[in-house]
Amino acid sequence: MTFGERLHRAMRDRGPLCVGIDPHAALLDAWRLADDVNGLETFARTVVEALAADVAVLKPQAAFFERHGSRGIAVLERVIAEARDAGALVLVDAKRGDIGSTMQAYADAFLRPSSPLCSDAVTASPYLGFGALRPLIDTALEHGNGVFVLARTSNPEGDEVQGARTADGRSVAGAVLDHARAVNAGATTWGSIGCVVGATVTLPAGEDLQIGGPLLAPGVGAQGATVADLAGVFGAALPSVLPNVSRDILRHGPDRTTLVSAARAMNSQVTDLLIGEDAGERGNDHDT
């Protein structure tokens, strides 16, 4: 199966929620863990053990592992493997973007099955030109994996670049969405190239978010957006949205039972909005 097909099935069966794994210093402290590789490992693997059998997608933020050096990367390798073994799809939030052989090296690291960092999908920055992502995209498609390309991010500074106009009058973000739509053309369910569109953004009139693939929506919770806000941002593209929630769930740790309860409550909210109550009941059958 392609990544788009696997993600579509996972969101149908488990609910349309992505939970971030963001072990930054403040959360480690809140969990009464040391800001070192041992605290990192306890935090990240607790989240995996609690949620990987329950949610559709887990999204480790690579930077919080990289800051601990080679031992932190080793923890990320274990987190990816254990989460996938438990049935969750893993989206590594690495936001890589480069050209030529360097872009291919990133693709080999995160999307080639022989790599210990291989995940189901990775985030990417298109601001060296969408075409520069072709090694990443081609490697993903070759191995049934996916890429989420930044389009309209949830940070307020993003509009300086993403809202700028190209020579043909489109916004830069609109051009990115168009490129993703072209790659996904012909997919039977969803294509495997998604875009990142923040739940906190205000979109210009006429910007088409229906790309034939998934839309990762950060910003729900700590960044200020609510589940109810998703309908106003995404409109007709709402069924393709994969809401990402991190701190609003992670703050309920380190108790595993409390983490599960928080994730299930949020999953129920987004399921009712994005899929509907009847589908939500089917998707939550695994909870009983």
Question: Which amino acid would we find at residue 64?
Answer: F
- Write down the catalytic residue from 24, 95, 143, 247: 95
Question: Quick one: angle between helices 100-111 and 134-142, nearest 10?
Answer: 30
Question: Quick one: angle between helices 256-274 and 37-51, nearest 10?
Answer: 50
Query: Catalytic: 95?
Result: yes
> Nearest-CA neighbor of 217 among 246, 189, 191, 192?
246
- Residue burial 134-164, b: 16+ Cβ < 10 Å; e: rest: bbbbebbbebbbbbbbbbbbbeeebbeebbe
Q: How far apart are CA 149 and CA 137, in angstroms?
A: 10
The helices-and-strands tally (H runs, E runs) of the chain is 13, 8
Q: How far apart are CA 108 and CA 140, in angstroms?
A: 9
CB atoms within 10 A of CB 3: 26
Q: Assign 112 to helix, strand or coil.
A: coil
Q: How far apart are CA 260 and CA 101, in angstroms?
A: 41
Residues 191, 179: contact at Cβ < 8 Å?
Answer: no
Q: How far apart are CA 205 and CA 242, in angstroms?
A: 22
User: Which residues are identified as catalytic?
Assistant: 95
